[in-house]
Structure formats: C-alpha cells, structure tokens
Structure 1
Amino acid sequence: MVEDDARMNDQVPAAIPALVFDRQYVPVLVGGSAAPRRFTVGGASVVMGPAAMLIIAEASGAPARSGVWNAERFRLIGPAPAPVTERLMGAPWGVDERASPIHIAVRVEGEALYLGTARVRQAGTTDGVLTDCELRLEAPLSRELLDRVRPPLPPGHVPDLRWLGNVNGDREAALEQFVTGWYPTEDATESPVGDSASRLPGGLRQLYRLAKQRPGALGTQNKILPEPDLLTDHLGEMLVFGVENQGGFFWSLPWTLEEPEADPTVWFRELDGQLIAEQEALSGFLIQFSLYEASMGAEYLALPRELTAPQVEQLTGALHLVPLRPFWPWAPTRFYVAPGLVMHVSSEDGEAFHAWAGATHRSALNPLADLPVDWNRFDG
C-alpha cells in the first residue's frame, strides 16, 4: 500500500520512479487485489481495474501517438480493444462516471508524472472500434510541466507566404501557391468530368485540378461540391457549387449555357433567404474559402474566447492581413496569416469578435504564445 497517496494530487504532480509507480501506485489507482487488465493503445499503456482506468503515455509531441496534446487535453489514438472502447464511450446508464475515474500519467526519463484525472470530451468510432478519444484534464498543466510531458517539437517546415504577394495581382497563382503549400499531396484521383466542365469559370476548374491530389482543398467544415455533384437551384438559374456542412446555406454562380464569365460574382443564400453577393468575385472568394477551410481543418489550433476590437488588434499585431474585402455575409470575416498559420476573425455586430487560428505545425503558433489572451484552446 502507498502511505502518502495524497501527494499525487498536489498542484505540482509528483515525479515517481517508473518501477515504483507501476508496482505501488498503479494497484492503488485502479483498485482491487487481482491483477488489472493491461492494453496498449496508440503507444500508451491502458490499465483497467474495478475502481478506475489509468492511461500511461510516453512524453511525446508526435500527433500520431497517444499523449498530452495541450495544457488541458490528452489524446488517445486507437484502435482500442473492446473493454477500453466500452469504458471510454460512456459509463452504463445510471452509473456516475466519478465512481470510476480515468487517471492520466506520463513517463519521462525513467520517471512517472501523475497528472490527475480526466474526463472524456469526445470520441470517435469505426464499426464499433474506438479510433480516437480526447480527454480533458481536470487540472490544467503549467507551461513548465507541459514542456516536460509534451516536449516541444523541433521547428518543422511550414508553408511560406509567397502567395500573399499575388492576392491582388495574380489570384490564380496565389490560389495555387497557397493550396500546394498547405496541403500535402495524396494519390491522384480521376474525377469524372460532367457536362458542365466546359462551362465552369476558370477559378473552379483550377480548384478541381488542385483537388485531384489534394482533396482537402475542397473543404473540411464547408464544402466545394465535386464537379459531378454540381446542381442548379430550383429555378435553374444559379449553379450551386458550395454548401455549408449542415445545409444551412450555399454559394452559387449564375448558370449559363454560354461561355462563362471569367470572374463572376459569387452569391450567398440561406435556404429560404434572398441572394446576397459576396464582396469578392470568384477569384478572391476561392482564396478566402481556402483560407477559412485550412484554418478550420488544421491539426493545431488556437481558439480565444470572445474578443473586443482592441483585443483583436493585439492578437493580430504580429500577423499579416490578407488584402481582400470581408468574406461571408452572415458574419463579415477577415484573414490574418503567418508562415504555416491562418487566422480568421469575424463579427456580426462590429463589437464582439470571434477568432479561430489553425496551423500546420505546433511551432507556427509561437507568435501567439505569449499574448495576454484568454484561450479556450491553445495547442502551442
């Protein structure tokens, strides 16, 4: 038995020799005299006993391994065996989750650091098998402790900003440079060519060409419809090419059997609303759409809570404003960028602002790390 188990719940977790932790502390944490069940999930050890679950990860910042993701979140990367899946997908009906806590620890250079308990925030499954699980630590980690259990990644290659200089000169080049810089190539897919292909504006044809090897370019939150899925509205007057992820609104272009306009106006519309023109024509809209989706689908995020105008100015001070008129009539949105980072800032009333930043590498969030911002999530 462990005589001083209370020290494991101190503000600064105890560093315990790994062998001592395994022999003495693990049985206390998971409960019971029988040998607990042990599993390996995404490089982490999962120990299950009658009283609790314990997840022990290696100190790592690699996104493909289970471990601490930021000061408040721990990620378990599957696939996970059935007992682990069943526990993490939710306690049985009527059972208080606090009666069967989930403990988190990390091995660091021969020691185990106990980080306290965590609760499942979200989990994903495929065919009943847990593929990923995000847990929220009940006690956020200090920066010093975070750097121990999730060592900083060495600066990696991040996309540069060459495209930014072409935004108001050669938008075709700007779109290609941004998309090819942000998204890694995948195996090319041959998309079937529909009857509308020859009647599409050049900007859409270019995006479809880029998406053959980079399908993420068509969006992760909202979507540019694949060319075979394009459709006209109920009057047959507008070609719907972009849709919101829940179908709440869409973007369209005037539909014509003649030669398409080179850079047509993009029209935004709620399901039962009036058509509203986007402020940028198609060439600028596609850059804005690409920036928005890149930030929304990024691996590393920085999400502040609601901001005032002075706070936005402070937050974006080290970034570059993309010189385009506001995107999205619902909540006019501007974009700010740095190498490997895209931030969009929107406001419905000009007084309260919402920002979302996404990055291709954890180090790309460094310009934001020391700002006095109240973060809802910060992966740097």
Structure 2
Amino acid sequence: MSGPWSVATEAEVLSRAGAQAQALPAGDVTYVVGPSATVVIVQAGDRPDGSAVQNLEELTLQEPFPEGIEARLASSELPLLGFVRLTQGYMPLGELRLAVSHHRPGDMAEDSPFPYRLPAKPSHCQLHIVDRLPFDVLDRARPTPQHPLASLDWLRFLPHDPVAASREFVAGWYADIPPGVDAPGDLDRPLPEPLLAFYRAAAGREEVYGLYNQIFSADELEDEDDGLVQFGAENQGVFVMLLDPTEVDPRVQYSGLHAEHEREPLSAFLLQFLLSEASYSSPFGGFATVTAEQAQRLTEPLRLVPLQPMRWPGDPTRHYVAPGLVVATATSPDGSVEVYAGSRHRSALRPLRDPGFAWERFDG
C-alpha cells in the first residue's frame, strides 16, 4: 500500500515522537512519549470491548493507562499520532484527537484516617481519527470476523401469527445469549396472551425488554385509574404504552405521543418493538438522515416486514431485514428519513458500506 497509509518500520514510528522517546506498553496498546509527539500504537484486530480501531473515525482505548498518559492524550501542545501494528510493520492512522474520556473512582487511600479517595483514574478513552480512513485501510486495522447470521425463518409466520414470529426472531437474533427458565410468575392480574408469550420468549435475556425504549417486566406493570395498564415506555419517559388487559389482542395505546394508538395490535406491535430495538440498540449499527429516494435505494435489496408501519420514531416507520440485519426507516414531517441499521455481528453490515450517502455513524 502506498500513500499516507504506507507501512512504516518500528524505528520510523519511534522517531516521530522525538529523541529519547519512551515506550510504555499497556496491553494491546503501546504509548510512545517524546519531546516531539505522543504516539499511540494499537494492535490490529476486532475488539469491540477492547483497545482497537472501531470504525472509520474512532480509536478506542481501554485500561490500563500508564501514569500521566491521560494528560498527554488531552494535550494540544504536541501532535497525537496513531499507528496500527501489523505483522509486516506499522500502518499510520494519522493525527488523533481526544473525543471522550471516562473515569472510575480512585481507590481509598491506605493508612489514611480520613475517608478520602485517590484521584479518579481513566478507564476508557475515545480518540477521533482526524482523516477518515478508507474501508480498505479499516479492514487491515480491524479485520472483520465472519459469524453465522440469524436467519429469516421467522418471516414465514407473518402476517398471520406474529406471536410465533416474535418467538422465532428472539431465538435466532439472541442465539448468543443462553435462554433462561424465568416465567412471568404468579400474576394477580389478567394479561393478554401476546404479552405473556413475549415474557416467555424474553426469559433470561434482559436485552429483549429493550436497551433504548422498554417493555416492562410483569412486576413493573403499572395500573391506570381507567383500567388500562402501562406496559412500556419511551427511554426518556416522553410517552408510555398502554393496553386493556381484558382484551385478547388489545390495541396499543399511547399517552404523551402525537398518536393515540398503533396501527397493529399488541401481538404484531411487540414484534415491531423487537425489530426497532434491534435496529438501533444492537452492538453494531449505523445511522443517517437521508432523502426518501436514498432510503428506497438502501432498502431495495432487503425484505420488507409485512406489517403496517409503526408511528414512532417517525410516522411511518417501516422495517426491512436480511440475515443478521434489521433496518428501520422513520419518516419525519419534513420528508427526510432517519435510517437505523443494527446487527449483533459486524459482518452483517458490510453490504451497507456504500449506500450512496454518508453515514453519520457506521460500525461495519
């Protein structure tokens, strides 16, 4: 590879930090501190929860951090330069800038008569890669492993049996999370079978209840004065979801939303909730605001889920799927479309790398 990402030797990398630079190894990262620059060298590889290049614009650093390195990362006085260690040498990432730094509380001071803690220590840093990487460079810095992807067998139940579709979707999408044996328990209220089936499918898998918006567990349900039951809520409490517990497959009603109720009944709505969460709360994903034409081109190769569109986060909101992938399109009042793409495996996002628009966030 030629150009700005040409592989360099170790001596060339160390020279960028200046004379008598000091190398500080720390797990998958080596920090080189010198009078001319601070150099961050990370081992190539895909480590979503570790120190690694995460996407075209982000390098994540995790503990341990050598003493004093946080001040170097945050300093604007000297250049902060990134490199990836490959088998054949060191590939430059260019200039870096500290974007986010998280800390954990310091330990209690030993032999101190006072309950004072030592200063907080950095636990996690995100560095912004100033010059966005090309995908071929990203693939060398963060090679993407291949995993078996969740199938689309659950689609065969639609539209006639959304409860079975939800059960099969959960079993496939969350196959990496062992199911539990939790049951709804002894309920002192009647509940519709679609909600009970949701609880059975979610047993042992907290993620199913939602990491962004939420479906309440059986012991979190709240009764309203009019006999309705709150069974879910938007993540900031802007609106809540209500149902009539005496109905077999009740209408999903809202309090606090622009719409009074959903188009689909509870049985299908719960599947749509699962798909929405998969699209914007999965470990890997993408987001962009695009035109209707751009959204149509993106979703053409995908399969449309044959249910009436949801009313949030935009009205209409539709879901499209491929093996291991869920895409939601939410239309705004001005005609623009928010696109959310989610997967539990990074490799499922690769077909979306060149959609004809710029992703605002993309992990594939």
TM band (smaller chain):
0.7 to 0.9
Which deviates further from its counterpart, 43-52 or 240-249?
Answer: 43-52
CA distance in 1, matches of 2:5, 2:132: 11
Q: Give SS of 1:291's match.
A: helix
Q: What residue in structure 2 maps to residue 379 of structure 1?
A: 363
Q: Within 5 Å, which residues of 2 pair with 1:172-251?
A: 172-183=163-174, 184-186=176-178, 188=180, 190=182, 193=185, 195-196=187-188, 199-233=190-224, 235-251=225-241
CA distance in 1, matches of 2:40, 2:63: 13
What TM-score comes out, normalization by structure 2 length?
Answer: 0.85
Shift of 1:191: 6.9
1:38 to 24, 29, 35: 24
CA distance in 2, matches of 1:352, 1:83: 46
Q: What residue in structure 2 maps to residue 314 of structure 1?
A: 297
Structure 1 spans left out of the alignment, 5+ residues: 1-9, 92-96
Q: 1:361 and 2:345 equivalent?
A: yes
Which deviates further from its counterpart, 286-295 or 164-173?
Answer: 164-173
Q: What residue in structure 2 maps to residue 331 of structure 1?
A: 314
Q: What residue in structure 1 maps to residue 140 of structure 2?
A: 148
CA distance in 1, matches of 2:52, 2:94: 14
Shift of 1:329: 4.8
CA distance in 2, matches of 1:367, 1:262: 41
2:76 to 98, 105, 116: 98
Q: What residue in structure 2 maps to residue 12 of structure 1?
A: 4
AA matched with 1:359: S
- How many residue pairs get aligned? The number is 347
CA distance in 2, matches of 1:129, 1:182: 36
1:263 to 249, 255, 271: 249
CA distance in 1, matches of 2:303, 2:291: 19
What TM-score comes out, normalization by structure 1 length?
Answer: 0.82
* Inter-CA distance 182–38: structure 2 relative to 1 (3 Å threshold): same
* Inter-CA distance 101–280: structure 2 relative to 1 (3 Å threshold): farther
Q: What residue in structure 1 maps to residue 39 of structure 2?
A: 54
Q: 1:341 and 2:341 equivalent?
A: no
AA matched with 1:151: P
8 Å Cα contact 1:194-1:227 kept in structure 2: no
AA matched with 2:252: V
Structure 2 spans left out of the alignment, 5+ residues: 106-119
CA distance in 2, matches of 1:100, 1:169: 63
CA distance in 1, matches of 2:158, 2:65: 46
Shift of 1:372: 1.8
Offset from partner CA, 1:22-55 (integer Å, 9 cap, x none): 5433x32xxx75x6362414x2223445775432
AA matched with 1:103: L
* Inter-CA distance 280–82: structure 2 relative to 1 (3 Å threshold): farther
Shift of 1:161: 0.3
8 Å Cα contact 1:225-1:241 kept in structure 2: yes
Q: Give SS of 1:375's match.
A: coil
Q: What residue in structure 2 maps to residue 111 of structure 1?
A: 89
Q: Give SS of 1:285's match.
A: helix
8 Å Cα contact 1:276-1:329 kept in structure 2: no
Shift of 1:180: 1.3
AA matched with 2:244: P
Q: Give SS of 2:263's match.
A: coil
Q: 1:282 and 2:274 equivalent?
A: no
1:292 to 264, 276, 279: 276
CA distance in 1, matches of 2:121, 2:282: 24
* Inter-CA distance 329–375: structure 2 relative to 1 (3 Å threshold): closer
Q: Give SS of 1:280's match.
A: strand
8 Å Cα contact 1:343-1:357 kept in structure 2: yes
Q: Give SS of 2:5's match.
A: coil
User: Could you say what the CA RMSD is over the residues aligned between the two structures, in angstroms?
Assistant: 2.7
Offset from partner CA, 1:273-294 (integer Å, 9 cap, x none): 6871111100111001001111
8 Å Cα contact 1:241-1:252 kept in structure 2: yes
8 Å Cα contact 2:282-2:342 kept in structure 1: yes
CA distance in 2, matches of 1:236, 1:51: 70
CA distance in 2, matches of 1:212, 1:86: 45
Offset from partner CA, 1:287-335 (integer Å, 9 cap, x none): 010011112121221223x211211110101111111111135622100
2:150 to 159, 177, 186: 159
CA distance in 1, matches of 2:45, 2:242: 45
* Inter-CA distance 130–269: structure 2 relative to 1 (3 Å threshold): farther
CA distance in 2, matches of 1:205, 1:294: 21
User: Structure 1 vs Structure 2: percent identity of aligned residues?
Assistant: 33
AA matched with 2:44: A
Shift of 1:12: 1.3
CA distance in 2, matches of 1:161, 1:76: 36
CA distance in 2, matches of 1:275, 1:378: 31
